Amino acid sequence: MTDKVISPLRQRLIDDMTIRRLGPKTKHDYVRHVKSFADFFGRSPDKATAEDVHRYQLRLASIGTTVPTVNASASALRFFFKVTMKRSDLAEEVVSAREPRRLPVVLSPEQVGRLLASAANIKHKAALSLAYATGLRASEVISLKLTDIDSDRMVIRVEQGKGKKDRYVMLSPNLLELLREWWRAARKKGWMGPGQPWLFPGYRGQHMSARQLHRLVRMAAARAGITKRVGVHTLRHSFATHLLEQKTDIRVIQVLLEAETYCPPTPNRRADLLSVSSPVRRDRAHCQAICLPWC
């Protein structure tokens, strides 16, 4: 989209998001949701009334819009009204829906092994193995650079993951050898030339896309005869579940995942991290080592 087709109001919204350092995807989604709201009642969104907001939300409910989409729309409209339009009264009219709490799909260790063994090639196997062995999100896997793999300290650096946080995750010897095998194969094919920074390069100098990574998981699951609905996040859930089944401290999993999906908020007890490499460990505490299948 060029500057000449962007309205002053949309540009102001984009500027407000830029000032607050919102990510590219968030910006795109917020603009899209505000545009959908404006298209609904056929006027510029700065002319909206409380009744317009009410009717739009009723429309979303009546057409069966999913709860995540409803809540994403609510976040976008609140930002637009409160920050860009300085209309806190309209922002208060926007409501969110309660999202049903569902248990995640989890694979057994045997199923994970079959899935990884069914990867089509070394690149696919390396990417999927890394997702499972570290519990990283899809966006974090595809954004890894070659320099993020620290074989001396046996950790992987995750830069600006969800919530714009840096962290380290553990790197097992088996995973390191698999990543080296992938690097040698990619270098032989000319995919790891000078100046190419990505661990999993894609097209036009960019890294592999999240959509492609999700597709790899589904294809591998189909070849492995796994009928469960599987995605990259399934490997993350399986990583956490298998640690729990090994009686790993829940605080440890919370720190490794940088999330509370499996782990309610817990205090930093200062003596609860595993005997993994020091950047992942806190206060030099020692517990049993993590040992996951296929890692």
Q: How do residues 194-248 score in pLDDT, each as one tens digit?
A: 888 999 998 878 899 999 999 999 999 999 999 999 999 999 999 888 888 877 7
Check: pTM over 0.85? Answer yes or no: no
Find the radius of gyration of the CA atoms of the chain.
Answer: 22
Nearest C-alpha neighbor of 105 from the set 219, 241, 202: 241
Positive or negative: CA dihedral 245, 247, 251, 257 = negative
- Name the pLDDT band for 275 (thresholds 50, 70, 90): very low
Phi, psi of 154 (to 5 degrees): 55, 50
Nearest Cα residue to 123 out of 231, 196, 220:
220
Confidence of residue 155 (pLDDT cuts 50, 70, 90): confident
Q: For residue 150, what is the enclosing H or E element?
A: strand 149-150
Tokens of 234: 């399934």
Cβ atoms of residues 252 and 141 within 8 Å: no
- Token reading at 286: 């020692």
pLDDT for position 53: 94
Q: At residue 147, does pLDDT exceed 90?
A: yes
Least confident of 76-85, 147-156, 164-173: 164-173
Among 121-130, 141-150, 165-174, 248-257, the minimum mean pLDDT is found in 248-257
- Using CB atoms within 10 Å of the CB of residue 88, give its burial: 0 to 12 exposed, 13 to 18 middle, 19+ buried: exposed
> What would the two tokens of residue 176 be?
């390191």
Whether the predicted pLDDT of 286 surpasses 50: no
* Average pLDDT over every residue of 99-111: 86
Higher pLDDT, 260 or 167: 167
pLDDT number for residue 5: 67
% of the chain residues with pLDDT over 70: 84
What is the pLDDT averaged over residues 94-118? Answer: 89
In what order do the strands lie in the sheet containing 149-150? Answer: 149-150, 155-158, 167-170
Quote the DSSP letter at residue 83. Answer: I
Yes or no: say if 76 and 68 are a contact pair by the CB < 8 Å rule: no
CB 285 within 8 A of CB 272: yes
- Per the model's pLDDT, the better-predicted residue between 21 and 258 turns out to be 21
Tokens linked to 156 = 């992987």
- pLDDT tier at 140, thresholds 50, 70, 90: very high
| Better pLDDT: 265 or 72 | 72
Nearest-angstrom CA–CA distance, 144 and 58? 42
* H/E run at residue 157: strand 155-158
Q: Is there a contact between 77 and 33 (Cβ–Cβ < 8 Å)?
A: yes
Euclidean distance between CA atoms 57 and 261, whole angstroms: 28
Region for 77 from its dihedrals, namely left if φ exceeds 0, alpha if ψ lies in -120 to 50, beta otherwise: alpha
Q: What is the pLDDT of residue 166?
A: 80
Average pLDDT over every residue of 4-26: 89
| Residue 286 near residue 195 (C-beta atoms within 8 A) | no
What was the pLDDT predicted at 163? 65
CA distances from 231 to 101, 107, 172, 187, 227 (A): 18, 11, 23, 28, 12
Separation CA 141–CA 202 (nearest Å): 13
Read off the tokens for 62. 């009546």
Q: What is the pLDDT of residue 295?
A: 52
Per-residue pLDDT tens over the stretch 55-93? 999 999 999 999 999 999 999 999 999 999 999 999 999
CB-based burial label for 152 (10 Å; 0-12, 13-18, 19+): exposed
Helix (H, G, I), strand (E, B) or coil at 158: strand
* Arithmetic mean of pLDDT over the chain: 83
Read off the pLDDT of residues 25-63 as tens digits, 9 standing for 90 and up.
899 999 999 999 999 988 888 888 999 999 999 999 999
